[in-house]
Amino acid sequence: MKMPNLKVGTRVDIIFENEIMKSKAHFMKALVYDIEDGKIIVSQTSPALNRHFLNRRIMVSFLAGVGGRNLRFGFPSKLIDLIKDYKIASEQSVEALILQQYKEPEPVDFRMYFRVTPRLQSNISLIYQEEKVNLIDISLGGARFTCSQDYSLHTADKIKFKLLIALSVFNLNAIVREVWVPYDAATNRNLQYISVEFEYDDKQLEASLGKAILEIERQLLSEGKI
């Protein structure tokens, strides 16, 4: 398979290399402004990176069409500089980051940690104790959702779900990683936020969930939302 090259105008996801294998990996989004001699200039991320992060190794990934499919490719690089007044138009300057690319792009699979927010009409549902929870986001490695505080959940609890994907139903074990209440709890005193890490060894489940996540990612990409 011929490896695609990164192009100006491509939207990329950036993650620090030491976070790749963590369930709470943070993916930061950016837009490629320019590419020259292995140096890539991208827009400032959100949340913004400052000079404290200079010389940190990162992985840059992007989607590219190959053989009629959108596949994800990535390469290692380093954040080497920050520009306060990079000009993107004759009268417009923005903050930008300079990355040093070390290798050519290769196929990568970040779906284990790449979280997507299911659309209202998506075919993914998570059921806890016979009740559908409100999914905030989901990945192959876990999910975040809101539910009533009537459910007594605590960090490190082991719990069971039913995962619905289209017409398929999977039994899914998970461990609770975080439980917190919103800052505006006064407006909804019975709401709690839960973060869980999935525990499974089911190739059919993994394939079905991975496909559903990729479909959501493609839809969001086509709408310009990622």
Q: Which domains does the chain have, with CATH numbers?
A: 11-107 (2.30.110), 124-222 (2.40.10.220)
Query: What does the pLDDT look like over 53-62, one tens digit per residue?
Result: 999 999 998 8
Average pLDDT of the chain is 84
Query: What does the pLDDT look like over 205-221, one tens digit per residue?
Result: 888 888 888 788 777 77
Neighbours of 160 (CB within 10 A): 11
**Count of residues making up the chain:** 226
Give the residue, 161 or 29, on which the prediction is more confident: 161
Cβ burial of 124 (10 Å; 0-12, 13-18, 19+) is buried
pLDDT of residue 190: 81
- What's the DSSP call for residue 219? H
What's the rounded mean pLDDT across residues 22-51?
A: 85
Give me the residues paired with residue 135 across strands.
145
